[in-house]
Amino acid sequence: MKYIDKQQNIADGEGYTRDYIADSYDVASHSFIPSLQSEEAFNRFRNQQYVSHSPHADADFKSLLLREQEGRCCYCMRRISVDAKDSNIEHLIPKKSPVGDLPYYAKYSDLLNYHVSHSETFEGKRYANKKAVAQQVKLPHMVAYENLVASCMDSHHCNSARGNAKMPPLPIIPDIESKYFYSPSGMIVTEDVDSEYDKAIKTLELNYETLRNIRLLWKKAASSAYEVAQIVFLTETADKQVFLCTIFGKQSITDLHPKWQNFAPAGENASTYYWDLFVKYDWFYDYYRHHDKDGNRI
Ligand SMILES: [Zn+2]
């Protein structure tokens, strides 16, 4: 996992949010249309169905998130694209979080504490005009830039596994990288057993079997003579099999457990699903090159 420093893009990021809330405020009825607590509000924000007054560096909001996350899922570090099939926008304070849970999130992050309010609280106030709405310091959690990160669309882990579960806003906690480490067998581990950090691993299903296997392969790759650029550009099945045999120290692909053979199956119509997924996690090559078995930087 990697800390995401959202202070860097805060003016630009909040620009999207401020434009949206000002646009959706109806001065005559002193209400937001649609309600800031509705799914429709988030969809309109995400699809940029509002009048924008701010110049933005990125074509759309998700592109901004992906740029600040170096194109990776905020939880599992998979490479993701802006395509809706590949990534979505995750709420650190979940969309359906009760108002009373806000202090739980605020205690982990100054960013949330100082810049984000619950949409219900935000909507409960009266504002003189659209400009007054846009100038609020704390922004409603449904569309607040500070509360939004990009995550992968995998149906087994990350955002889809989490749903609206209460857990620490991991990617924006400044010392998050000291909370977790990855073991040589590919497990994500925290030393704070039974803590909220420990529970979050389970909530996000970050030790899902395929993820563990992929991280173990990267651990072995990082200990081999292969460079990461060589690995991600392997296209021929035979070359992928040589790679797998090399990192496991075996003569033939058939000497490997079937779960490893699946990463480079032979045959004309053989699936490249596992290999393609494996290369999207190339972040772990560098991680394992620079950390020992206990997660200490070397
Ligand atoms: Zn993910």
The rounded Å distance from CA 129 to ligand 1 centre is 40
Question: Hey, which residues does 26 pair with through a beta bridge?
Answer: 31
The rounded Å distance from CA 158 to ligand 1 centre is 5
The rounded Å distance from CA 283 to ligand 1 centre is 13
The predicted-structure confidence for 169-204, as pLDDT tens digits, reads as follows 999 999 999 999 999 999 999 988 889 999 999 999
What one-letter code names the amino acid at 147? N
pTM assigned to the model: 0.96
Residue 55: is its pLDDT beyond 90?
Answer: no
Q: Which helix (H) or strand (E) holds 131?
A: helix 130-134
Residue 53: is its pLDDT beyond 90?
Answer: no
Backbone φ/ψ region at 3: left (φ over 0), alpha (ψ -120 to 50), beta = beta
For the residues 252-267, what does the mean pLDDT come to?
A: 95
Please, which pLDDT band fits residue 54 given cuts at 50, 70 and 90?
A: confident
| Average pLDDT score, the chain | 96
The rounded Å distance from CA 115 to ligand 1 centre is 25
Please, which pLDDT band fits residue 225 given cuts at 50, 70 and 90?
A: very high
The rounded Å distance from CA 86 to ligand 1 centre is 10
Q: Comparing C-alpha atoms, which of 37, 41, 81, 85 is closest to residue 63?
A: 81
Question: What b-and-e string marks burial along 19-39, b requiring 16 or more CB atoms within 10 Å of the CB?
Answer: bbbbbbbeeeeeebeeebbee
* Cβ neighbours of 224 (radius 10 Å): 14
The rounded Å distance from CA 261 to ligand 1 centre is 24
The predicted-structure confidence for 143-175, as pLDDT tens digits, reads as follows 999 999 999 999 999 999 999 999 999 999 999
CA angle 257–262–265, rounded 5-degree value = 110
Report the DSSP pairing between strands 87-91 and 148-152: antiparallel
Give pLDDT, residue 52.
87
